[in-house]
Amino acid sequence: MPYLFTSESVSEGHPDKVADQISDALLDNFLAFDPESKVACETLVTTGQVVLAGEVKSDTYLDVQNIAREVINKIGYTKGEYQFSGDSCGVISLIHEQSQDISQGVDRGSKEEQGAGDQGMMFGYATSETENYMPLALDISHKILHTLAEMRRENKEISYLRPDAKAQVTIEYSDANEPIRIDTIVVSTQHDAFDADDEKMLAKIKSDIISILIPRVKAQLPAATQKLFDDQIKYHINPTGKFVIGGPHGDTGLTGRKIIVDTYGGKGAHGGGAFSGKDPSKVDRSAAYAARHAAKNLVAAGVATEILVQVSYAIGVVEPTSIYVDTYGTSKVGLSDGDIAKKVAQLFDMRPFAIEDRLKLRNPIYLETAAYGHMGKQPTTVTKVFESPYNGRIEKEVELFTWEKLDKVAEIKSAFNL
């Protein structure tokens, strides 16, 4: 029997994503001026207010209020009518020193012996159903909202958009787990107040989303995926009615509340730990990236068409407590999943410092991860500039999304005789 699968995404202006981006901007600034910083920074945003809290161990000092305001303005919350703007909101900092009870379990005489920053299990997932090895429903959801944000900034074809938005895509699959068609698309977007009555306003928004936004999204997709769009798609556009009140004024936002949006949209699995605001000594983040790196390279090498990799840790312990692999019955190498996991352990060093070093995670690379997913983006090298009244100005060339590199494929093929 064919079945339906759904994933959602949220925009950079969604309250939880505003909080994630502020937390990761703070992390980037700490790492830019002190790469050895230990950071676990949480953010709360609500009407006219930002609260920063968490634990930091660093040799640098930052103007955290100004960093938060810059992020908010860049997202697009720049008008008083939003009841939340970077220039006028209050910013309260409750950040304090990292607990010595935690740091004693992580810090070691040599970096190679660095212990895990916490216990827990982390997952990485990859599938061959898209070019970026991501689940298709999530990939399309991200593209819908990223394109919507581009159109908001262009302010041409659609001129009434505000920053907050959500999207959801439902795909029909065959018994062979192949996508057949897109069944449903849901888009809820914040908008300016209209002079027209609610019915006319909603009709205008629905028409613009279906006739302007969706074709622009579709054009970004491969030909095979474009064929999944047909005239039978069910559209729910702002299904609750008008959406003028939004962002942190409409709904309080917190760091780490969109962990499924951040990863695989409900496919694979999730260990439960959030990413944003955490330096790479926190394996919640670094090991999840390492597991994605392993899963993506394994699928690209042809080990299987779908792979889940789990890695687990004990706080303060160097070696992972387990590595697990599930190929969902799609293995192409004639080995059990347990045997594949043993090879993964040999191919990928999952000690915390080894992950940091291999993926270059002690660089200020995290703000770019904090909206539209941490996985599936194109690895690239950029120059980032950081300025501080206390530390001066620094330029750093950094590699973004190193865990998305297909740099282990040849080695994997050799190990599996592919």
Q: How many CA atoms lie within 13 A of 334 on its CB side?
A: 3
Q: Is 216 annotated as a binding residue?
A: no
Q: Is 195 annotated as a binding residue?
A: no
Pairing of strands 179-191, 234-237: parallel
Q: Is 17 annotated as a binding residue?
A: no
Q: How many CB atoms lie within 10 A of CB 224?
A: 11
Residue 192, φ and ψ in degrees, nearest 5: -65, 160
b or e along 310-343 (b: 16 or more beta carbons within 10 Å of the residue's beta carbon)? Answer: bbbbeebebebeebbbbbeeebebebebeebbeb
For the chain, what is the radius of gyration of the CA atoms? 22
Q: Is 156 annotated as a binding residue?
A: no
Spacing of C-alpha 131 from chain mean position:
18
Distance of CA 167 to CAs 9, 142, 163, 258, 372, Å? 5, 8, 13, 13, 11
Q: Is 142 annotated as a binding residue?
A: no
Distance of CA 276 to CAs 2, 15, 247, 413, Å? 37, 14, 19, 33
Q: Is 243 annotated as a binding residue?
A: yes
Rounded to a whole number, what is the distance in angstroms from the first to the last CA of the chain? 33
Q: How far apart are CA 295 and CA 313, in angstroms?
A: 18
For tokens 């347990």, the residue is 338
Distance of CA 270 to CAs 56, 263, 308, 370, Å? 26, 8, 10, 17
Q: Is 306 annotated as a binding residue?
A: no
Provide the angle, in degrees to the nearest 10, between the axes of the packed helices 64-75 and 15-33: 130
Q: How far apart are CA 368 and CA 31, in angstroms?
A: 14
- Tell me the longest C-alpha to C-alpha distance in the chain: 68
Q: Is 55 annotated as a binding residue?
A: yes
Q: Is 107 annotated as a binding residue?
A: no
H/E element holding 93? strand 90-97
Pick from 290, 314, 309: which is nearest to 299 by CA?
A: 309
Q: Is 278 annotated as a binding residue?
A: yes
Q: Is 349 annotated as a binding residue?
A: no
Q: Is 230 annotated as a binding residue?
A: no
Q: Is 360 annotated as a binding residue?
A: no
Pick from 354, 358, 378: which is nearest to 368 by CA?
A: 378
Q: How many CB atoms lie within 10 A of CB 72?
A: 29
Q: Is 258 annotated as a binding residue?
A: yes
List the binding residues for L-methionine. Answer: 55, 98, 251, 282
List the binding residues for Mg(2+). Answer: 16
List the binding residues for ATP. Answer: 14, 164-166, 242-243, 251, 257-258, 274, 278
List the binding residues. Answer: 14, 16, 42, 55, 98, 164-166, 242-243, 251, 257-258, 274, 278, 282
List the binding residues for K(+). Answer: 42
